[in-house]
Amino acid sequence: MLKILYLVPNLSDPAVARRVAMFRLGGAQVEIAGFRRSDAPPAELPLERLVELDITHDGRMLQRLLATLGAASRAHGWGRSLSRPDIIVARNLEMLGIANRLLDLWPQAPSLVYECLDIHRLMLRSDGLGKGMRAIEQRLLRRASLLLTSSPAFLSNYFDTVGAPPAFLVENKVLAEADDERGRNPALDGSMAPIRVGWFGALRCQKSLNALEKVSRALGGRLDVTLRGRPALTEFDDFHGEVAASPNLKFAGSYRYPDDLPGLYSAVHFSWAIDFFEEGQNSRWLLPNRLYEGCLHGAIPITLAGTETATFIEGLGIGLIIPDIEPQTLSDLFSSISRERLRALANAVAALDPAAFRCDAKACAELVERLARTKSSGETMEQAA
C-alpha cells in the first residue's frame, strides 16, 4: 500500500478533506501535517496520524511566513512522529519548503510531489519580489518528481513558462459515485420565478458581491441570490453588513461537502462561477469547485468571457458567458430570460454525462497509481534537467 504524507496549509479546508478521501479511496495510506486557521476548529479527518504544526491567521501573510519558517526549522523533530512515507505531497508553496526540509529525515528520501491549485499574485509580479518568489519556487522544485494542478491554464500561462516537473491534471470534480443522489434544476419541474442564483463555496470577491447586490435590488422580487460557504472576510468591506442590507441577498452559512450539494444546487437555477480574486491572473485561469458542483447537480453556470471557465462550458455547449458584470449587463441578462430559454438551458446541463463533473473510485485509483509510478521512477526535476 502506497504511504502518503500530505502537507497542507489549512487542515480545516474542505478541499483538503476531499483530497485525503481521494487518496484513501484510491488505495493509499495517508498521514497529514499542516496548519490550523485561527477561526477554524481542530480538523476532523479520518486518519490515524495528524500533526498540527501551528495556528495561522487568514490574510496575515507575515504571520503565516513566520509560522512556516518555524515549522520548517522544527521539521526533524515533529517529523520523527511520522512513519516514513513513499510520497510527500506538498499543497502550496509554503508546504513545499517544509517538504524539502523533511526529505533528508529518512535514509531513503521519499518522492516529492508539488500540488499547486492557485498561482498567487506574488508569483506573477515583474519586480524583484516576484523574481525572488519564482526563484525560491524553482529551487524548491528541484527535488520534485511530479506537479499536481487543477486547470490546463495554470500550465500554459505559468508552469510551462517558468519550468516544472511533469504535470498531472486533477480537476476539481465532485467526489461521488454514480449512484449518489444528484440535484435537479427547479426549472425542469416548472419552478421559474423568481429566478434564483447561487454563489457557493469560497466567497472572496467584493466585485461579485457588489454586482449581485445591485442587480438583485434593481430587479426587485424577480431575482433572488443565495450565498453559501465560507466568506474570506478580509477580502470584503463588510460582508455580513452588505448582505443584511440587501433585501434579495441571503447568506445561509456554510455547508457539508458533499452531503448538502444536491439540495443546495437544486434550490437555484444558476450557479455564479465568476471570481475577480487576483483579477486577470489566477481568477482567469482556474476551474473552480463550484463549476463542477453546480453542473453535476443541474445548475446553469454563469461565467465571464475570456476565462478558462468560459472555455470549459463553451466546449460543453452549456451555460451563459457574459462580457462583464456591469449592472446593465446583468439586468438585461436576467430580464430577457424566458421560461422556454430557462428550461432549455437547464436541459442542456442535465443531458451531459455526469462523469464530466464527478470523481469516482476509479479516478481516485488512477491518481494513486500515478503517484505510485512517481515513487517507482524516482526521477526528480533536478535529475531530469
Domains in the chain, please, with CATH? Answer: 3-173+360-384 (3.40.50.2000), 186-359 (3.40.50.2000)
Phi, psi of 243 (to 5 degrees): -65, -45
Task: For residue 385, count other CB atoms closer than 10 A to its CB.
Answer: 8
The C-alpha cell 502537507 sits at 7
Rounded Cα gap, residues 258 and 245, in angstroms: 30
pLDDT for the residue 132: 96
Cell (9 digits) for 184: 435537479
Beta-carbon contacts of 33 under 8 Å, excluding residues fewer than 6 positions away, are 5, 6, 7, 8, 50, 51, 52, 53, 78, 82
Cα–Cα distance measured from residue 337 to residue 53, given in angstroms and rounded to the nearest whole number: 51
DSSP-derived secondary structure for 304-368: ETTSHHHHHHHHHT-SEEES---HHHHHHHHHT--HHHHHHHHHHHHTS-GGGTEE-HHHHHHHH
Round to whole Å and give the CA distance between 355 and 351.
12
The predicted model gives 45-60 an average pLDDT of 84
Q: CA nearest 31: which of 88, 74, 97?
A: 88
Cα(137)–Cα(134) distance, integer angstroms: 5
pLDDT of 380 above 70: no
Q: Are 94 and 64 in contact (CB under 8 A)?
A: yes
CB atoms within 10 A of CB 336: 8
Provide the β-strand partners of residue 199: 227
Which grid cell sits at 49?
Answer: 496520524
Taking Cα atoms as reference points, which of 298, 295, 274 lies closest to residue 212? 274
The Cα–Cα gap between 224 and 216 comes to: 6
Look at residue 383 in the predicted model and tell me its pLDDT.
61
pLDDT at 384 over 60: no
Task: For residue 227, report the phi and psi dihedrals to the nearest 5 degrees.
Answer: -115, 130
For 1-39, write each residue's pLDDT tens digit. Answer: 999 999 999 998 889 999 999 999 999 999 999 999 887
pLDDT of 65 strictly over 90: no
Which segment of 4-8, 242-246, 278-282, 313-317 scores lowest on mean pLDDT? 278-282
Confidence band (pLDDT; 50, 70, 90) for 229?
very high
pTM: 0.93
Banded model confidence at residue 41, pLDDT cuts 50, 70, 90: confident
For the record, the C-alpha cell of 127 comes out as 519586480
- For 95-122, the DSSP string reads HHHHHHHHGGGSSSPPEEEEE-----GG
Asked if the model's pLDDT at residue 296 lies above 90, the reply is: yes
pLDDT, residue 188, reads 97
Strands 270-272 and 111-115: unpaired
For the chain, give the mean pLDDT.
Answer: 93
Contacts of 364 (CB under 8 A, 6+ apart): 22, 23, 25, 26, 27, 175
